[in-house]
Homo-oligomer: A and B are copies of this chain.
Amino acid sequence: MRTIIECVANISEGRNRASIDQIAAAVRGVPGLRLLDVSSDASHNRSVLTFVGDAAALRAGVGALFEAAVARIDLRGHRGEHPRMGAVDVVPFIPIRGSSMDDCVALSREIGAEVAHRFGIPVYLYEESASSEARRNLAEVRKGQFEGFAEKMKDPRWKPDFGPPEPHRSAGAVAMGARAFLIAYNINLGTKELAIAERIAKAIRHVSGGFRYVKAMRVELADRGIVQVSINMTNFKKTPLHRVFECVRSEAARHGVAIVGSEIVGLTPAEALYAAAEHYLRLEGFSPEQVLETKLLEE
């Protein structure tokens, strides 16, 4: 597989196992596509389908996903803790290999236009694909949620990028866009002091002066008697894991606290780990082409 683009589609069904399985099966059946993971959360009433392929496979896969999901999910009766505006709620495209962010922006526009036309669903481009700064942030786009969307769309500022001027009656609206791979990364501190985790989270997160591609919050791990800085690394190529780790180490040391461990939750591209090895081992002239498994992925 020379070109790998990842799609992490969020659908508003996390309880009806039969529906989730049927929607997953529709995606899995697309040639050239690999469905890597399906995670469902009943309290959120939401599932996340992770699949990869090249541009053509993703186009077919997203089409199959909408066809199956729109037929099975009706937001008019939907309850769940997670905010949502559509049956298929968010569809991000993430460049992994052999594809640039620009390629993924173009792909999101292409697929967005197609979905709007084929299913009559309004499509909002977000993140790197956003047509204006106001639409970059998913939370802003989704504000009002399904129940408030007909009203929201009356405002000309919320005219969709593609599709009809009102929400689909059962499937709402959808956000699509290109974004960098997100790594969920937690760093555990050898202290019970939640205030220290809070100070460190504040030190590293973008919004309060930290790293450009870091979102962070404090978490208490009561069962282990320690605290955690819970991090979303929104662009590990520009803000790498090891730089954040070293910053947290330094900030923690200032309080006499050590890092007892860290964890990657879910998936990571190999490159994020290569970068850490490269940094600490001070590797010169390293290329992922030197990794045996990289060669095996090239066909």
Binding site for B on A (CB under 8 A): 1, 4, 6, 34, 36, 52, 96, 188, 241-242, 245, 259-264, 266-270, 273-274, 276-286, 290-297
Contact = CB atoms under 8 A, between A and B. Distances in A.
Contact of A284 (B52, B262, B283): B262
Contacts of A259: 282
A4 B291 CA distance: 14
B270 A270 contact: yes
Contacts of A276: 276-277, 280-281
A interface, by DSSP: helix, strand, loop or mixed? mixed
A247 to B, nearest CB: 13
A268 B297 contact: no
Contact of A291 (B245, B273, B277, B286): B273
**Which of A259, A263, A295, A296 has the most chain B CB within a 10 Å cutoff?**
A296
* Shortest 5 CB-CB contacts between residues of A and residues of B: A276-B277, A273-B277, A261-B284, A280-B280, A270-B293
A286 B263 contact: yes
A27 to B, nearest CB: 15
A45 to B, nearest CB: 26
Contacts of A295: 34, 36, 267
Contacts of A4: 296
Contacts of A281: 241-242, 245, 262, 276
Given A273-B273, A282-B261, A283-B263, A292 B245 contact: no
B290 A297 contact: no
Nearest to A4: B296
A282 B262 CA distance: 6
A290 B267 contact: yes
A140 B259 CA distance: 49
A269 B274 CA distance: 11
